[in-house]
Amino acid sequence: MKFKLDKLASNVKAIRQDFPILDREVNGKRLAYLDNAASSQRPVSVINKFNEIYSNNYSNVHRGVHTLSMESTELYENVRKKIANFINVDDQNEIIYTKGTTESINIVARGWAKYNLKKGDKVVLSEVEHHANLVPWFMLRDEIGIIIEFIPVLDDFNLDLDSLEKIIDKKTRLVAVSQISNSLGTIIPLNQIIETAHSNGALVLIDAAQSAPHQKIDVKDLGADFLVFSAHKLLGPNGVGVLWAKMDILEQFKPFIGGGDMISKVTFENATWNEIPYRFEAGTPNITGVIAFGEAIDYLNNNNYVELCQYAHYLSEFARKELSALSYIEILGPSDPSLRSSLFSFDIKGVHPHDVAQILDSAGVAIRAGHHCAQPTLNRFGFSSTARASFYLYNDMNDVEQFIESIDLVEKRFL
Amino acid sequence: MDASLDDLYREIILDHNRNPRNYGALNEGNIVEIEEFNPLCGDKIVLYLQSDKEIIVNVHFTGEGCSISQASASIMTDLMIGKKINEADELLDKFRLYMTDLNNSEPDVNLGDIDAFQGVKKFPARVKCAGLAWNSLGKALQELNS
């Protein structure tokens, strides 16, 4: 174990060189970036890809017969295969490019559920979901009268799996849950949820926004029907996301956004749809963003990201243990490290999380403070906001030490 | 200690945060009640403004928030008690001018302890925190004026 940690620490030391932003100072201090669950940073290969494409290949895709358009199209389409491999999908046409996880879920709600679910049908969510996996379903409920029910979260921050049989029933058409809670850090045991859903004839949507950066995603192994995630949390550009669904399900979708590139034929009266996936990608897409996302996937694969993320988890748990020894700090989330991701929410008694984040910022430490777009989850545990530290594959022990020292500054000023 | 942080967290702000004045609901007399949220952080304030004709008799608040928003609510309520409604309107305008004009370092004398928020202006993300209670005051005054 010790040997492995030393090896991982030295790997992290090497890859930090690839992230220019980690060299900058914040308020005169070394930057300790611990807001990775909100958005990660990018390696130089991803950053340079934009320059390279705009300098050499850029044009619109799927439209021109000229060389630049063909080159752009090829670079852009090649990433579909990379993403398919990344989540173990055979048919790359099942990969839909979106703006991000939020848009992906909205497309499922507006493009699939709206036409395939009817009044009284049930959509089951969990009590640890991000607003992105709540609000689209509320909007659909108000429009077509679906019923929303929640898998409860217990006082130990794990989902109440004993309630599954009661909540997921024959009326349930979709179960939409995250793989990792962004506010609590809880890893959701999906197997039992998916099994119960499928045995009742319901489909399953996995929100992998927090899990895809840290672990190998295998949709076949999971048995998921829809899976969504964002590029910007795994070293890719912001404004790029993925919606994956099985082809027979994608065929049940109606296009959510109409316009150029998504049609087969348009007359003054009507239009017919282009093939899948283009049917769902109207308008000029985020061409450079998608191509640069391909670069991010290469970077993750070439650097054995799953192993590096084990080190991020080690750091997160180390920091959590240090903080939990302080009487004035309460930490949310399961106590068992194997049930937690590489993030933790915490509360310093008597100090508002914004004040905590402000003091930490003065020490160069970037953390998130607020409701993490999970207001109902935090309210369930009696908080309106918390501070959150989240770790990724370029974090090192210096970040942890700087973080813990900066907590002392909060104590000195406020307690 | 960090100089700009010392400026942000001036002693007067920390004091009002620790011991907020006029905290608690009001439910007697002619009360206007305004609930205001900061969607960024989930903070909430409920303002209770009790008036008698043209005079603000009492102002209280409840809710939760960071030290800046709590201190701002505490100082604002202190300042408003006993003021005429048109005076409160004027003070609100002056506060907004003071918080948004980076060159205007001296607040109007009638704004009392508000110069404690001078340091907040250097942290644009926190100006909203200072403004939450004042926004609820603005809504309460609007209701009284309409």
pLDDT at position A309: 97
CATH, range A47-301: 3.40.640.10
Q: Is A285 on the interface with B (CB under 8 A)?
A: no
What the block records as the tokens of A141 is 């409920």
Chain A and chain B share a number of CB contacts under 8 A equal to 49
pLDDT > 60? residue A336 = yes
pLDDT at position B106: 72
Q: Are strands A241-245 and A95-98 parallel, antiparallel or unpaired?
A: antiparallel
Report whether the peptide linkage leading into residue A337 is cis, meaning its omega lies within 30 degrees of zero. Answer: no
Can you spell out the DSSP letters for A162-217?
GGHHHHS-TTEEEEEEESB-TTT-BBP-HHHHHHHHHHTT-EEEEE-TTTTTTS--
What the block records as the tokens of A255 is 């296009």
Question: Which residue out of A373, A397, A404, A409 is catalytically annotated?
Answer: A373
Secondary structure of residue B126 in the 3-state scheme: helix
pLDDT at position A263: 84
Burial label for B12, CB within 10 Å (0-12, 13-18, 19+), is middle
pLDDT grade, residue B110 (50/70/90)?
Answer: confident
Active site residue A309: no
Q: Which candidate, A10, A114, A32, A72, places its Cα nearest to that of A286? A: A72
pLDDT > 90? residue A34 = yes
pLDDT at position A415: 80
Q: Which CATH number fits domain B3-145: 3.40.50.720, 3.40.50.300, 3.40.1710.10, 3.90.1010.10?
A: 3.90.1010.10
* pTM, rounded to two decimals: 0.93
pLDDT > 90? residue A253 = yes
Q: Is B40 on the interface with A (CB under 8 A)?
A: yes
Chain A interface mutation, best of B67, B69, B120, highest count of A Cβ atoms under 10 Å: B67
Q: Which of A:53-72 have CB within 8 Å of B?
A: none
pLDDT grade, residue B72 (50/70/90)?
Answer: very high
Q: Which candidate, A396, A316, A406, places its Cα nearest to that of A361? A: A406
Secondary structure of residue B19 in the 3-state scheme: coil
pLDDT at position A248: 97
**Terminal Cα distance for chain A, rounded:** 38
Secondary structure of residue A257 in the 3-state scheme: coil
pLDDT at position B54: 94
Q: Is A358 on the interface with B (CB under 8 A)?
A: yes
ipTM of the complex in this document: 0.85
CA-based nearest residue in chain B for residue A369: B41
pLDDT > 80? residue B102 = no
Q: Across chain A, what does the average pLDDT equal?
A: 96
Q: What is the mean pLDDT of residues A157-184?
A: 98
> Which amino acid is located at A399 in the chain?
D
CATH 3.40.50.20 is held by the domain A2-38+305-414? no
Contact A413 B9 (CB under 8 A): yes
Contact A358 B126 (CB under 8 A): yes
Q: Kindly list the domain boundaries of chain A, sorted by start residue.
A: 2-38+305-414, 47-301
Q: What is the mean pLDDT of residues A134-158?
A: 98
**Terminal Cα distance for chain B, rounded:** 48
pLDDT at position B42: 74
pLDDT > 70? residue B1 = no
Continuous segment of H or E residues that includes residue A25 = strand A25-26
The percentage of residues in chain B with a pLDDT greater than 70, rounded to a whole number, is 97
pLDDT at position B104: 65
- Which tops the pLDDT comparison, A56 or A256? A56
Q: Kindly list the residues from chain A whose CB atom is less than 8 angstroms away from the CB atom of residue B14.
A: 413-414
pLDDT grade, residue A355 (50/70/90)?
Answer: very high
Choose from A63-77, A270-284, A329-343 the range with maximum mean pLDDT.
A329-343
Q: What is the mean pLDDT of residues A328-348?
A: 97
Helix and strand numbers, DSSP H then E, in chain B: 5, 3
Continuous segment of H or E residues that includes residue A33 = strand A32-33
Contact B14 A352 (CB under 8 A): no
Domains A2-38+305-414 and A47-301 share a fold: no
The percentage of residues in chain A with a pLDDT greater than 90, rounded to a whole number, is 92
pLDDT > 90? residue A88 = yes
Q: Which of B:51-90 have CB within 8 Å of A?
A: 64-68, 70
